[in-house]
Structure 1
Amino acid sequence: MTVALRPELPALMVEEQVRAALTEDLGRAGDITTLATIGPEMTATADMRVREAGVIAGLELARTTFRLIDPAIRFETLVADGDRVAPGTTIARISGRARGVLSAERVALNFLMHLSGIATYTAKFADEIAHTAAKVCCTRKTIPGLRALEKYAVRLGGGSNHRYGLDDAVLIKDNHIAVSRGVASAIRAARAYCGHLVKVEVEVDGLAQMREALSASPDVILLDNMGPDVLREAVAVNAEHWGLSGGDYAGDPRRTRLEASGNVRIETIRAMAETGVDYISTSKITMAAPTLDIGLDISL
């Protein structure tokens, strides 16, 4: 069995995000509180601890924050991104000039708390459906400017990424269909326009539309706001269309993949996954994820 490697963020992307955050926070005069109260010769050691169970994401962003403030600061990680940790776990130890430690603290924690919160919340959804072949996926509903980071956190939590933007995959939604006046015709138009490497997905609101979509062979059909009974029937329609049954269905590379979306909650995702759909997409894992409580405690 192939083991998936943990995702990584490009160093250039990390530095760009951190520089923007520090520029916002330091403003026009820098950290005037720290500059006014802490002498340049003072040093400090600090432990970064989680106060609740969760999945860690964003350590490299935190490391880069301290490095850009003061390259001499030592940032020692005690866990890795993607690790599940218990309350009270020390995830990093920071030591160096106190001014730099204090000035970098908030930005570093903001990245860690936000991304770890997404990874933790995603893991709760992923754990609910771990006994099935379905994958929970994020959407394009992300905070502007942070999409790549948030999608990184989703993967660390055991989720899968949907398209990153409007340019890397086709998703024909209800409004596209309304304007183009046809499901199958919209799929064919997308195939004619895009290269052979671009996946084509179409959203349908019922089984009749699904059958029309299957006639044009999209890569994925998004089943919008359908309950478990209808989703189960949709899986059967897909299997029938491709002449598949039983064990042949799940692994057949020819068939159209099915994605369920709409009204996805932690209480509903298990029943949706057990219908046999391949993917379940939800904005909740990025837009509704609470931050993970992480603190930085000075130990001098």
Structure 2
Amino acid sequence: MITEQLEIIRLALEEDLASGVDVTTDWLVETSLVGEAWIEARENAYISGLNTVKEVFAAIDPEVVVTPLCEDGAKVRPLNRVVSIFGKASSILKAERTALNFLTHLSGVATRTAELVEIARPYGTKVWCTRKTTPGLRRLEIEAVRAGGGDTYRDSLYSKILIKDNHLSIIGGIESLAKRLEGDLDAEMNLREGKIEVASLYELDVAVRMGWKKVLLDNFAPEQVREAVERYAKDVSLEASGGIHLGNIREYAATGIEAVSVGELTHSVDSIDFALEVDWSVN
């Protein structure tokens, strides 16, 4: 796990355990008490976040043994155990809520992604997330999307070029962009590798004449997406975005669009219900 993700875990634990203090556990539970615990699903779900769960417990107590019982991307049913845990009771109790918070949220992302992917797959349409992620959790949420069978076009502003509507507004519109590209030494590569967002079929026509090979159709209705696909899908990679969700993704996928990006994958999903159960009879 990379350093920035470990820092997120540290911050999450710090807001729950100032300097490692849990006043209830420290008062009631002997530090010598050792036992077993496990995390089980309480509903149907696709799993993501198992490595994060391990790192949460390791941050509290490196001697706690955490064993995943499945892999990220696995489908589980109610009462299926996903993690087994052995170690000090006090350590397990201190890590419990933070570990569950990550697991429930990330599995919620993976589960919703898997639901959308299942609908879109027969049409050959890919499901991508956007940059509308929880601050600090982007890499973990993208991993969760991938666990559910989805992906993303770009994970940051520094990774790939994507010209958005506000870029065009600031420079004077898509026609002004065409003029700015004349004589630009980087234009050929950016036209081939980058992507431009368009808000109408007219802007799509202009973008294709300019030479863009990847185009994002922003807030197009399904019938407009179908028209765009019929015109240019053989030569241009087309993605649809804006207002796409579980209730209408089939209509978009049926247009033959290559990919759809769905903001709700990371900003509006329901968490999955998991519980940590304990067994101290081994003592």
Q: 2:74 aligns with which of 83, 89, 93?
A: 83
Matched, 1:210 2:229: no
- C-alpha separation in 1, matches of 2:128 and 2:70: 25
Matched, 1:104 2:104: no
SS of structure 2 residue aligned to 1:168 = coil
Describe the superposition over 1:232-274 as per-residue Cα deviations: whole angstroms up to 9, x where unpaired: 11112215xxxxxxxxx3xxxxx22101111102121111111
Letter in 2 for 1:23: E
Letter in 2 for 1:202: I
- C-alpha separation in 1, matches of 2:111 and 2:136: 21
Q: Decide whether aligned partners of structure 1 residues 218 and 185 sit closer, same or farther in structure 2, where only a CA change above 3 A counts.
A: farther
- C-alpha separation in 2, matches of 1:124 and 1:171: 27
Contact kept? 2:14, 2:20, Cα under 8 Å? no
- C-alpha separation in 2, matches of 1:18 and 1:195: 42
Letter in 1 for 2:85: I
TM-score by structure 2 length? 0.92
Q: CA deviation at 1:180?
A: 1.4
Contact kept? 1:46, 1:296, Cα under 8 Å? yes
Matched, 1:223 2:203: no
- C-alpha separation in 2, matches of 1:291 and 1:194: 43
Residue 34 of structure 2 corresponds to 43
Q: Decide whether aligned partners of structure 1 residues 189 and 113 sit closer, same or farther in structure 2, where only a CA change above 3 A counts.
A: farther
Q: 1:171 aligns with which of 153, 162, 165?
A: 162
Question: Aligned runs of 1:1-300 on 2, under 5 Å?
Answer: 10-28=1-19, 30-183=21-174, 185-186=176-177, 189=180, 192=185, 196=189, 199-239=193-233, 249=234, 255-300=235-280
Contact kept? 1:129, 1:273, Cα under 8 Å? yes
SS of structure 2 residue aligned to 1:131 = helix
Contact kept? 2:45, 2:76, Cα under 8 Å? yes
Larger mean CA deviation between 19-28 and 43-52 belongs to 19-28
Q: Decide whether aligned partners of structure 1 residues 188 and 279 sit closer, same or farther in structure 2, where only a CA change above 3 A counts.
A: farther
- C-alpha separation in 1, matches of 2:147 and 2:178: 33
Q: Percent identity?
A: 37
Describe the superposition over 1:28-53 as per-residue Cα deviations: whole angstroms up to 9, x where unpaired: 46112111111111112111000000
RMSD: 1.9
TM-score by structure 1 length? 0.87
Contact kept? 1:260, 1:279, Cα under 8 Å? yes
Letter in 2 for 1:16: E
Letter in 1 for 2:274: I
Q: CA deviation at 1:16?
A: 2.6
Q: Decide whether aligned partners of structure 1 residues 201 and 93 sit closer, same or farther in structure 2, where only a CA change above 3 A counts.
A: same
Q: Tell me the matched-pair count.
A: 277
Describe the superposition over 1:172-220 as per-residue Cα deviations: whole angstroms up to 9, x where unpaired: 1222112212325436757745794883211111111110000112231
- C-alpha separation in 2, matches of 1:159 and 1:147: 14
